[in-house]
Structure 1
Amino acid sequence: MCSSKSKFVQPTDANAKATQSAIMVSDINGRPVLQPATSNRGLTRSSHKKNLPLAKSITKFPVPPPPKQKQPAGKQGGNDQCTAAKTVIPGNKLKKSMSTHDSNTSPSSLVVKYSSVAIVNAPGSIAAAWRQQVAVMQVHRKTKIAHYGRSVKSAKNDSSLVNSNVTEEKRCSFITPYSDPIYVAYHDEEWGVPVHVDKLLFELLVLTGAQVGSDWTSVLNKRQLFREAFSGFEAETVSEFTDMKITTSSSSYGIDIGFIRGVVDNSKCILKIKNEFGSFNKYIWGFVNHKPIVPNYKVNQKMPVKTSKSEAISKDMVRRGFRQVGPTAIHSFMQAAGLTNDHLTTCSRHSICAALVRRDPRPSSTVI
């Protein structure tokens, strides 16, 4: 059995007197052992856990604060220096003010508070950079406003010129300032002009067939391509196209092979009509009694996509073996070939096309 003798150790410092009741040293087998003042015998598990913080506190002795140094009269202490450093601005001055602190001063007592005015006015701060950026943006904005002012004036001058040109020469409402120039030229020079040449009628028949599902601008841009692919729209030459020629033309000019076969079949039908009526011109103009139809449309919305006359022509051409000649395509063909003068009454081309008919009302096989 080991014998234990307990005795209290007298504190050597005034700050350690508070721990007198909590510190006890026992001699166990001739060795001093530090133990709590109260015995832990008979304690429950819960009470033992409650005493754990006390045991931890016993092993850590309080650290006495550093001794205060006397400052000469007329000089501020460490705390006063910290107070004076509260209003310093960030930068090199802050480093100088921090270096003036006493080396023995606790770091936790150093509290630096920046002034909002000092931060905003600092030359290297984020606010200063933002002010400089805003100033540059304002300069660019003023430049843009001045540029827009000049462009607006020039736009007004350009619009006045455009308006003056529009008042001089009016067109149909479907011709806008954004229309393609090739489409505008087609409207001003060809659309609605009576055509009595078989080759030109065959060309317009092919173009209107290609225009279905597309637009006139795209078709007019490929007009020269169609002329090369179909040998200048000579019906006799196109009717002799073989399967090899059709396949080669389709791959060379990028035209659908089914559309080329339809054009070849139409050329054969035109040759039959020439043998029966003498010319394709007499056959097609016979449906309107060799005189253009003048509906006198005032608004573009009143213009139909097909008429009873186009349905009659389409029905007869289908009966003769023509392909791609629906009522809508035939109505577009009649407008292009001048069989109907669908220019609006407000368009300057309306009266011009009507004058061409009055000048030579009888059909012929030559160009008009």
Structure 2
Amino acid sequence: MCNSNVKSAGVAQIAGRPVLQPAGNRVAATEVARPLKKSLQKSLSMPASYDNAAAAPAAAAPKNTGAGDFARAAAAAPYLLPPTPAKAAGARAVPSVGAEKSRKAPKKAGAVLPVVTFAALEAFEVAGPAGSIAAAQREHVTQAQAQRKSRIAHYGRTASFSRVEGRVGATATATATAAAPGAAPVVATLEEKRCSFITAYSDPVYVAYHDEEWGLPVHDDELLFEMLTLSGVQVGADWASILRRRHIYREAFSGFDVEAVAKYTEKQMASVSAGFGLDLGTIRGAVNNAWRILEVRRDFGSFGKYVWGFVNHKPLSPGYKYSRKIPVKTSKSESISKDMVRRGFRFVGPTVLHSFMQAVGLTNDHLVSCPRHRVCSTSSSSSSDAA
């Protein structure tokens, strides 16, 4: 039964009939919507891709203020605003947890925070254009991975510059020979057939030394003395730098005249060291070796006969196919080094002696594919026949 004494009760009209209900359930009168602030209008602004599509209906619609503007903005950008369920008449509005937090949080004057929900983000991803930022990033990563795989796949498969140039030179030589069979053969430098340590970037002085001197048999005492001195100086340096200063050594040691160098006094050695910028220890070692060569001459007749006697006056020919197989010293260089050290020579270690043997033709260490290998072998056979 209804208690008529309840003072808080009131009468409301529902479907044309008066209904008794508590005063707290009364529906407040609908407030007139206020126009949107400029900051909220900016937050609800549409992307550039939708400006042209929304410009025509926006211009055709009649101007209005209040709730109409907000409704049109929500209809134009549905992916920014979550759908709002319709309120049943007489139902109490239950505030959400996020709304309570937003009420408690202090708000700055003039700041308007846009409402973004997961539904809005999901709708934006679905309605977004095909060329979005995420798609562009995925495409960029895919292309970068493909380029990296292609670079890794070609590691070590590119022909070196020297081999390519050599093949071009060989083709040009063969073409010139075929075009003029009666003409003299053209001598071409075939980069691919030279010793592999001679490349397109090698010093021209070193290349000329390889093509003209290295490996040719030498029997002259002065030239043997020169190559022995240069081989000792070359330790810790490269042949190209020594060959560029070769004229300085020749002038400092009187053209490598054994008898003239053997007569150098301590004062002359100091003068040569200061005048030519050479190490004093190197000069003293060369003078000492000149004395020992004079002693060898008295025992063997010449320094050349003494040196070539270790190989039975015939150069060694190991026949290397690859430069990495060429050793820095051999058992033969070790035996020659021991005998020369016993005789009082200086700067004649096994490595220095092996370099000396290569330079004067005691061993033909040109690769078998190098044209100089055959030239040095022919020169050594002719010199041995003459001896």
TM-score, scaled to structure 1: 0.55
> What is the distance in 2 between the residues matched to 1:208 and 1:187?
15
CA deviation string 1:149-199 (max 9, x = no partner): xxxxxxxx9996553226745111111111111111111111100011111
Aligned twin of 2:195: 172
Q: 1:219 to 1:363 in 2, by over 3 A?
A: farther
Whether 1:186 and 2:190 are equivalent positions in the alignment is no
Q: 1:315 to 1:159 in 2, by over 3 A?
A: closer
CA deviation string 1:193-212 (max 9, x = no partner): 00111110000000100111
Whether 1:277 and 2:300 are equivalent positions in the alignment is yes
Query: Which of residues 342, 352, 368 in structure 1 aligns to 2:375?
Result: 352
Aligned twin of 2:88: none
> What is the distance in 1 between the residues matched to 2:355 and 2:211?
16
Query: Which of residues 238, 244, 248 in structure 1 aligns to 2:271?
Result: 248
CA deviation string 1:14-65 (max 9, x = no partner): xxxxxxxxxxxxxxxxxxxxxxxxxxxxxxxxxxxxxxxxxxxxxxxxxxxx
> What is the distance in 2 between the residues matched to 1:221 and 1:317?
28
Query: Which of residues 325, 329, 347 in structure 2 aligns to 1:302?
Result: 325
Partner amino acid for 1:236? E
Aligned twin of 2:167: 163
Q: Which secondary structure does the structure 2 equivalent of 1:297 belong to?
A: coil
Query: Which of residues 199, 212, 221 in structure 1 aligns to 2:222?
Result: 199
> Percent same amino acid at aligned positions?
58
Aligned twin of 2:342: 319
Pairs within 5 Å for 1:9-48: none
> What is the distance in 2 between the residues matched to 1:316 and 1:160?
46
Q: Give the superposition deviation at 1:311.
A: 0.7
Q: Which has the larger radius of gyration?
A: 1
Q: 1:362 to 1:283 in 2, by over 3 A?
A: farther
Pairs within 5 Å for 1:1-368: 162-165=166-169, 168=190, 170-362=193-385, 364=387
Q: 1:158 to 1:278 in 2, by over 3 A?
A: closer
> What is the distance in 2 between the residues matched to 1:161 and 1:358?
33
Q: 1:158 to 1:307 in 2, by over 3 A?
A: closer
> What is the distance in 1 between the residues matched to 2:165 and 2:198?
18
Gaps of 5+ in 1: 1-82, 85-156
TM-score, scaled to structure 2: 0.53
Alignment RMSD, CA only? 3.6
The runs of at least 4 aligned residues of structure 1 exceeding 4 Å deviation read 157-162
Contact 1:193 1:353 in 2 (8 A): yes
Q: 1:344 to 1:246 in 2, by over 3 A?
A: same
Aligned twin of 2:46: none
> What is the distance in 1 between the residues matched to 2:263 and 2:162?
54
CA deviation string 1:117-153 (max 9, x = no partner): xxxxxxxxxxxxxxxxxxxxxxxxxxxxxxxxxxxxx
Contact 1:293 1:340 in 2 (8 A): yes
Q: Give the superposition deviation at 1:251.
A: 1.2
Gaps of 5+ in 2: 1-36, 39-160, 172-189
Q: 1:254 to 1:208 in 2, by over 3 A?
A: same
Q: Give the superposition deviation at 1:362.
A: 3.6
> What is the distance in 1 between the residues matched to 2:386 and 2:257?
21
Partner amino acid for 1:239? A
Contact 1:196 1:363 in 2 (8 A): no
Partner amino acid for 2:246? R
Contact 1:290 1:363 in 2 (8 A): no
Equivalent pairs, count = 235
Partner amino acid for 2:226? E
> What is the distance in 2 between the residues matched to 1:206 and 1:186?
16
Q: Give the superposition deviation at 1:352.
A: 1.0
Q: Which secondary structure does the structure 2 equivalent of 1:361 belong to?
A: helix
Contact 2:214 2:358 in 1 (8 A): yes
> What is the distance in 2 between the residues matched to 1:268 and 1:212?
22
Contact 2:337 2:350 in 1 (8 A): yes
Contact 1:241 1:264 in 2 (8 A): yes
> What is the distance in 2 between the residues matched to 1:354 and 1:174?
20
Q: Give the superposition deviation at 1:290.
A: 0.5
